[in-house]
Structure 1
Amino acid sequence: MASSRLERIGTIFTRVEGLITRSAMKADDRPLWFDIYKRFPPLTEPKFAKPLPEVKPIRPILYEEDVVRAKFHSAGQGYGAINMLSPTGETPIKKLVKQYEKLKSEGVPETELVEKASAAVDTQYAQRQQEAAQQKTIVKNPDSVTAQVLAEADLKIFSMRNELVYCRK
């Protein structure tokens, strides 16, 4: 088969199918992909004679925010996983970019922008977490034992990059 041109005549699927129907290959020896390909054929048959698609160069798309995001991530300030189902619709990195632009318009030096924006977002996040924790600790029955223990505990919340640490004073 060194000088064979069978690959130009049919596809691998049609050749394997021909081998099986003419008993040149046992049905038990068929390749793993054969049944899947038979059940879910491609929309366009992969043939050798098919003309190649026109190759268009991909335009580089770079937005101003991408540069800011790169600065945050290179400084280790970027946040990892986010909740895509969040009702606010604002990711931590979006908040960082907004804070960065706000500080830049206020005239903060370029060298301090990333650190200050990150610190501002962290404090906002910690405040929101404290408010949420305080709302959760409001008890329906203030005379209960749980309410008394929580009142005595005096918990304080610290934020370390999306990780909450509860500490006693």
Structure 2
Amino acid sequence: MGRALNVTTLLVSSLALLVSGWTAWRLHDSQSPQRVLDVRGVVVRDAKGTPRVLLGAPLPDPTRHGQSAGPRASALSGLVLLGPDGSERGGYGTTDIGGEALLTLDDANGSTEVFKVVANRDQGATLMVKHQNNTGAMLTSWQGKPELMFVDDSGQSYYVRPGASAAP
């Protein structure tokens, strides 16, 4: 009986030592400044548990007041900011189709992109500034030449292009 007790004690002690060593190694590894997280997405929530920041590849479809606002035009990977009501308020990312990089800021309802920058590897860049009443301005180089467009609250467009007369 004494020999069996000694062998059992030795085995249990060895197992405890092995588990302690493995745990210490994992703890050290998890606190290493060289560690890299390999994830498809991260959700940052506020104190109430509401998602406020999404980081993903790809990102989920946009939301308004916490509900789906329909599918994105193309899969998007990057960062999305959400308001306290769950509405998408803006983001920065790249599209899977079209090779575009986007930076957007949305209104408080998440229904209007009031600021948008689009960079396309083949067609230049576009900057859009818009109000909820649909007035706005766009500066673009997508046709290979600079172009400036203004839209008034009646929907009338005014263009300024090189070689053309200035907008009224």
TM-score past 0.5 threshold: no
Name the structure where strand makes up a greater proportion of residues: 2
TM-score, normalisation: structure 2: 0.24
Structure with bigger gyration radius: 1
* Higher RCO structure, 1 or 2 (CA under 8 Å, sep 6+): 1
Name the structure where helix makes up a greater proportion of residues: 1
